[in-house]
Structure 1
Amino acid sequence: MIKTEETSANQVVENVAVPIAEALSKLLGSNVEIVVHSLITETVVHICNPFSKREIGDPSFLSEIDFRKDKNETVIGPFERVNWDGRVIRSISAVLRDDDGTAVALACFNYDISEIMAAQNAITALIGTPVTSKGSEALFKNDWHEKMNHYIVDWCRDRNKSVEALDRKDRKMLLEALLDTEALREKHAASYIARVLNVSRATIYNDLKAIRT
């Protein structure tokens, strides 16, 4: 049965999700990241225009969502998220089902609206109109990537630094702070933070070893 589900999911991903993702990524440009998740393996299986530091094979953290409750549910969102570098992302997800109506894949479209928001903020400053935003917590309830993104962005903001500008001393201070939160105990956390900080995984492990000794 599992093999049948995987085969069905692979067909939906390869014949539907991937072609749509590739076509829309070329049409909409680099401001839109498209991530395809397999709901059978609960992993990322395809990415176009990656800017979230996710990679193929990363866990999806969607196991607690019961897509069987409403088989008519095909679209989730739109809602807002924050990227690892502080950019605001507007996201919407499409549930993809096989011929039996079983949800087998999820296509997530992440639109970087930071430039639009900068323009909006400039206009708001002139006309005094408050800006409100709403987000969706259901999809990312257990997503430590999202929580780590928030922590890193807040940590850098408190020190008037950007993630890209962190030097070795800053990096070690950030890792010390992350150790205090136990965030680095998550599986693959060291690999993810290495990608975010644009250093090798070995560098992260060496820094952590130095901190702990």
Structure 2
Amino acid sequence: MTHSESMRKKKTSGTEALLLERYAPVADGIVALFAGYVEAVIHDYASQKVVYIANNLSKRSLGDDSALDDIAPEEPETVIGPYEKVGWDGGRQRSISIVLRDDDGHTIGLLCINMKLDVFEQAKQAFDILLSHPQLVPQPDKLFQDDWQERINTFIQHWLTQQGLTMARLSHPQKRALVTELYNNGAFKGKSSQNYVANVLNMGRATVFKYLRELKETENA
């Protein structure tokens, strides 16, 4: 073994140790977050080999060739992708690669994160079928002509859209303003409508009744 070959072997084993120490826990954390749908593979640039696999979905083995010839030693790009590729089973995958460097900024490896898309595509197809039901007909007026709950729901969503607000982030003054608009548009004529609005807006019933009493007093005055 020549001196250069010995130094290269030492450098390779050293970079592999650095890669595993620094980035193996990162790979483990990523796949833990995404359960069984993601794998993370660490490639060593010096040896051009796979040195770590977390949640092996690609059926690769440690020591497999990495084929990193197209990655320049001082590649300025840090994140490559996302891009799509085909897995061993023919399923689509979405992947992203992160260039790993040492303390001096030299490229030492690549962390590739691969996500299986087939389960999400199946879920999307199921949702598409449910949400685009071909046999839906317009809501029958004879059945819902006095559906005050739906009218309240429609009014609230329209008001939220106009105001650029969301139900979850409504402040108390905004809820009071919404109750006022509902009152002015006759929303409280239905039986138990006060209780319904209180539940929808996550308010106390006493508070809604208080607002309505004040509105009626102002109106009578």
Query: Within the alignment, does 1:38 sit opposite 2:44 as a pair?
Result: yes
1:3 is displaced (CA, Å) by 4.6
Report the more deviating stretch, 85-94 or 4-13: 4-13
Q: Please say if 1:29 is aligned against 2:35.
A: yes
Find the counterpart in structure 2 of residue 61 from structure 1: 67
Secondary structure of the 2:105 match is: coil
Partner of 2:25: 19
Match of 2:99 in 1: 95
Distance change in 2, residues 1:97/1:4 (3 Å): farther
- For 1:69 and 1:85, locate their aligned partners in 2 and report how far apart those are by CA, in whole Å: 32
Q: Distance in 2 between matches of 1:41 and 1:48?
A: 19
CA distance in 1, matches of 2:120, 2:98: 24
Contact 1:33 1:48 (C-alpha < 8 Å) held by counterparts: yes
Unaligned runs of 5+ in 2: 1-6, 133-221
Displacement after TM superposition at 1:37 (Å): 0.5
Preserved contact between residue 8 and residue 98 of structure 1 (Cα < 8 Å): no
Query: Secondary structure of the residue that 1:30 maps to in structure 2?
Result: helix
Post-superposition shift, 1:23?
A: 2.1
The aligned runs of 1:101-112 (5 Å cut-off) are 101-112=105-116
Larger relative contact order (C-alpha < 8 A, sep ≥ 6)? 1
1:105 partner amino acid: G
The CA distance in 2 between the partners of 1:8 and 1:100, in whole Å, is 15
Q: CA deviation at 1:29?
A: 1.3
2:83 is paired with a residue of what secondary structure? strand
**Contact between 1:12 and 1:105, CA under 8 Å: does it hold in 2?**
no
CA distance in 2, matches of 1:41, 1:57: 9
Q: CA deviation at 1:10?
A: 2.3
Q: 2:16 pairs with 5, 10, 16, which one?
A: 10
Aligned to 2:80: 76
Give CA-to-partner distance per residue, 1:138-157, whole Å, 9 cap, x none: xxxxxxxxxxxxxxxxxxxx
Would the aligned equivalents of 1:9 and 1:38 in 2 still touch at CA under 8 Å? yes
Q: Tell me the CA shift for residue 65 of structure 1.
A: 2.2
DSSP-derived class of the 2:28 partner: helix
What do the CA deviations read for 1:79-130 (whole angstroms, capped 9, x no partner)?
1111111211111111110011111011111111111112224455766xxx
- Matched length: 125
How far is the alpha carbon of 1:47 from its aligned partner?
Answer: 0.6
- 1:25 touches 1:48 (CA, 8 Å); kept in 2? yes
Query: Structure 1 residues 86, 96: CA separation in 2 closer, same or farther (over 3 Å shift)?
Result: same
Root-mean-square deviation (Å): 2.1
Bigger Rg, structure 1 or 2: 2
Say which SS state the counterpart of residue 36 (structure 2) adopts: coil
Per the normalisation by structure 2, the TM-score is 0.51
The code of the aligned residue for 1:22 comes to D
Equivalent in 111, 115, 118 of residue 119 of structure 2: 115
